[in-house]
Structure 1
Amino acid sequence: MFKAAIRVNKLTTIAQLRGAALHAQRHDETGKARVRKDAEPGFGLAWSKAENDRDYLAAFKAHKTELGAGERKGAPLCLQAICVVSPEWVEKAGSLHDPDNPRNRQLFDQAKAWAEGWGGKGSVIATRLDLDEKGGAVVDVLISPVRESRGKPVISTNKALRELKETTGERNEYSALQTSWADWSRKHLDPEIVRGTRKEITQRQHLSPETYGAVMDKARESVRAPSQGLWEAIRDTDLSERDTEALSDFLMLKGEIARHKDQGRSYEPPEGALELHRVGGDSQTDPWPLIRAVRSGAERVFEAAHGFGMGLQANMGDGYETGREFFPSLSDRMHLAAVVAKCGAFCARIEAAVKNMLRPDGIQIEDRMCWPQEAPEEVERHEMNLGLTAPAVRQEPSAERDTDFTDRSSEERDRGLSHGR
């Protein structure tokens, strides 16, 4: 299986176009530094609307003349799309740095075709596939879409991106570009190519050569084999304490998703610091330290999911759209929603169970009186949506049964609900 990924930068000034051209021609120090040993600087595949294939300013001027297009003040002149596929895909047909490798040529041609597929015919002003660096399988495409405004042709990257967003059904520009490039690559390059790791769109209006190189490296990382790319990215990245905690929470949630996929209805929330059967005390004991200790594992999952926009409330009735940015797979979002609901239901059961153990009067409270009260219904809904259980015909309890906490809680304890499944 191979991956496709993309990074995007908006160029808004002539100076930025000129800087991009200097980097492409290896006239800047950073560009020179990226050339691998014994390689010819600027070696690779390139095309533009100018006589010099790497003169982006001249290509932009030729583009405007060809289409008779004007500009909007302060609006982007073009998009710089860094289109990537797994280097292993290119290497299947030969050397990664061979211009005669048919897959290098195919990638180069299809990146331009993809951009004009949504940007419009003639919207690409230049393309480049560098073969002088250590890496490969990366095509730079400069796209300057033209749309009609008040009867005149005007460069409009924003309108083109809005159209693409509507076509793909994605919520933001970057996701639309990422999905579109992956779909195009799968159709025109190889059916085994899948979408690479989702990342945030670059918010900079211009990438310095240094940052540009880092962005290209990050793009390559997202299409590496997971065992190599993941560990190397973590190893080589300087993480703040906050970033480390976020990464830890994310990996924990990925683990719980995998566990729920494997165990289904048998899934149990992670263990807490204290087992329920070891809880002891009397009516004078504060129940909350004990409650938190027993359900600490479930609470951590519950709170981590909330931090990634996948809390219990967020998962209610949204068609599993919440959390796409971090969990692009619908299956992952559905299983995580079930995990969150089950951890929530466990939290409610433990609160009721511990409080009931410490009550001297024998009056018991029910799970449904404890937080989060909506969790049991959500467990049932998610399990039905995942095909783990069939819809059941539920009978409404009588008014007498609703107020008989002792009988109801005894029945639940007999079924093991007060102590977890």
Structure 2
Amino acid sequence: MFKAAIRVNKFTSIAQLRGASLHAQRHDETGKARVRDDAEPGFGLAWSKAENDRDYLAAFKAHKSELGAGERKGSPLCLQAICVVSPEWVEKAGNLHDPDNPHNRQLFDQAKAWAESWGGEGSVIATRLDLDEKGGAVVDVLVSPVRESRGKPVISTNKALRELKEATGERNEYSALQTSWADWCRTNLDSEIVRGTRKEITQRQHLSPETYGAVMDKARESVRAPSEGLWDAIRDTDLSEGQTEALSGLLALKGEITRHRAEGSSYEPPRGALTLDRVGGDASTDPWPFIEAIRSGAERIYDTAHRCGVGLRENMGDRYEAGRDLFPSLSDRMHLAAVVAKCGAFMARMEAAVKNMLRPDVPQIEDRTCWPQEAPAEVERHEMNLGLTAPAVREETRPEREGDLTDRASRERDRGSSHGL
């Protein structure tokens, strides 16, 4: 599974366009520092409406002349959309820095096509895919949408973004861009590309393109660096029974994080000792031995997460702070929260399924009435936050009363004590 992400800067002055041109042409100190030792400065794929593909001020002037467009005082002249996909997707087809790599060419072309899909035909004034840096798979697109105002063409980035927000159903323009770019990549590049982490969840600071590139380089190196000495350290360390159990649980959770990251919405909780098709009996049969056997794998993960302080209830806020000491990566905590919720939802689903199978002649039990009742809603929320599903329009829910919270906490503590029908 690969990720798609977008970053956007608004250019509101000629000075910003001139500065972006200097950076693209590697005339500024930051641009020079970004170049690899063995690369030619400015090497890459580039296009613009100007004679010089990296002269953005000239491209903007040509754009205005071509469309006869005016400007609104104080409004952005254009948007710089930094279109990103996982470098591993580019490397599927060849070298990350090869201009003849078909994935580099597809990414370059599709970034421009995507921007014009919502900005309007001819709204892109320049595009650039740098191949002289350590990183890759990042296309800079300068888009200057033109809309009609009082019968005249006027540059209007705000109106274009509002239109995109309405089309995607997202609650803000930034999320609309993220969703739109990911959907475009999935349709036009690779069906395995998914939306990256939402900005309102990550709480990241807005970085300049140059700083962002440096951070991306460091992150790629960190992700690809092998974990040396892990098995040697485990082998040579004396662990008590409790420490061994704790380590086993931690590794199990990390394994599920990795699997959820790879499988996304297709993730299924670990299997139990029994499957649903092997359940047999009648109305007098105790359902709980079957229920516990079927969901034993999921319950093991659910209980382990609870012991580690990253259970279902600990992750019911939007900040994903629980478990920071054990799981420093926000992405890991988000995937783990989804894993725990999916295990909980599976547990509730299997309780209802077994009971309904053994008692077909009585009113059927719904999943939402089985413990943990909050799990299905948490699955939906975590998948939306991870960009695995589109956000749904939800009705406003009433605030929980103090009694509701007390009852729910009591159910969490006594979850295993009520095994009756």
| TM superposition score normalised by structure 2 | 0.58
Q: Tell me the equivalent position of 1:242.
A: none
Q: Distance in 2 between matches of 1:304 and 1:416?
A: 21
Cα distance change on mapping 1:297 and 1:137 into 2, 3 Å = closer
Structure 1 unaligned residues grouped into runs of 5+: 232-250, 273-294, 311-325, 342-374, 387-408
| Alpha-carbon distance in 1 for matches of 2:191, 2:174 | 22
Q: Within 2, Cα distance between the matches of 1:216 and 1:84?
A: 11
1:73-88 superposed matches below 5 A: 73-88=73-88
The 3-state SS of whatever aligns with 1:84 is strand
Map residues 303-342 of structure 1 onto 2, 5 A cutoff. Answer: 305-306=316-317, 308=319, 335=342
Pair 1:195–1:221, CA change in 2 (3 A):
farther
Match of 2:94 in 1: 94
- Counterpart contact for 1:9–1:202, Cα < 8 Å: no
The answer to whether structure 1 residue 302 and structure 2 residue 302 are counterparts is no
The alignment partner of 2:158 has SS state of helix
Structure 2 unaligned residues grouped into runs of 5+: 228-252, 261-266, 272-294, 322-332, 349-367, 380-409
Aligned equivalents of 2:176 and 2:77: distance in 1? 20
* 2:312–2:337 Cα contact (<8 Å) kept: no
Distance 1:91 1:384 in 2: 37
In 2 relative to 1, CA 146–330 (structure 1 residues): closer, same or farther, beyond 3 Å?
farther
AA in 2 matched with 1:86: S
Per-residue deviation, residues 137-174 of structure 1 (Å, max 9, x unmatched)? 11100011111222221111111111111212222222
Residue 137 in 1 paired to residue 137 in 2?
A: yes
C-alpha separation between the residues in 1 aligned to 2:180 and 2:221? 22
Query: Which of structures 1 and 2 has the bigger CA Rg?
Result: 1
For residues 267 and 330 of structure 1, do their structure 2 counterparts lie closer, same or farther at Cα, with a shift above 3 Å needed? Answer: closer
Correspondence for 1:283: none
Aligned partners of 1:38, 1:122: CA distance in 2, in Å? 36
Judged with a 3 Å threshold, the aligned counterparts in structure 2 of structure 1 residues 14 and 79 are, in CA distance, closer, same or farther, namely same
Alpha-carbon distance in 2 for matches of 1:212, 1:384: 37
Please tell me whether residue 24 in structure 1 is matched to residue 24 in structure 2: yes
Opposite residue 96 of structure 2, the aligned amino acid is: L
Distance 1:329 1:110 in 2: 33
User: Structure 1's 329 and 28: CA in aligned 2 closer, same or farther, altered over 3 A?
Assistant: same
C-alpha spacing 1:27/1:144, structure 2 compared with 1 (3 Å): same
CA 1:115–1:271: 2 relative to 1, 3 Å: closer
Instruction: Write the distance in 2 (CA, Å) between the matches of 1:230 and 1:195.
Output: 26
Distance 2:225 2:167 in 1: 31
Query: In 2, distance between residues paired with 1:203 and 1:150?
Result: 38
* Distance of aligned partners of 1:229 and 1:175 in 2 relative to their CA distance in 1, 3 Å threshold: farther
SS across alignment from 1:139: strand
Count residues in correspondence: 300
Please name the residue that 1:352 is paired with.
Answer: none
1:19-418 equivalences in 2 (<5 Å): 19-199=19-199, 211-218=208-215, 228=224, 261-262=269-270, 267=299, 302=313, 305-306=316-317, 308=319, 335=342, 379-380=372-373, 382=375, 417=417
Query: What amino acid does structure 1 have at the position aligned with 2:316?
Result: A
CA distance in 2, matches of 1:215, 1:162: 26
* Kept in 2: contact 1:327–1:333 (CA 8 A): no
SS in structure 2 opposite 1:42?
coil
Counterpart residue type for residue 57 of structure 2: L
Overall identity of the aligned pairs, in %? 66
CA RMSD of aligned residues (A): 4.6
**Distance in 2 between the 1:331 and 1:171 partners?**
22
CA distance in structure 2 between the aligned counterparts of 1:54 and 1:121, rounded to whole angstroms: 21
- Kept in 1, the 8 Å contact 2:10–2:76? The answer is yes
Contact 2:312 2:375 in 1 (8 A): no
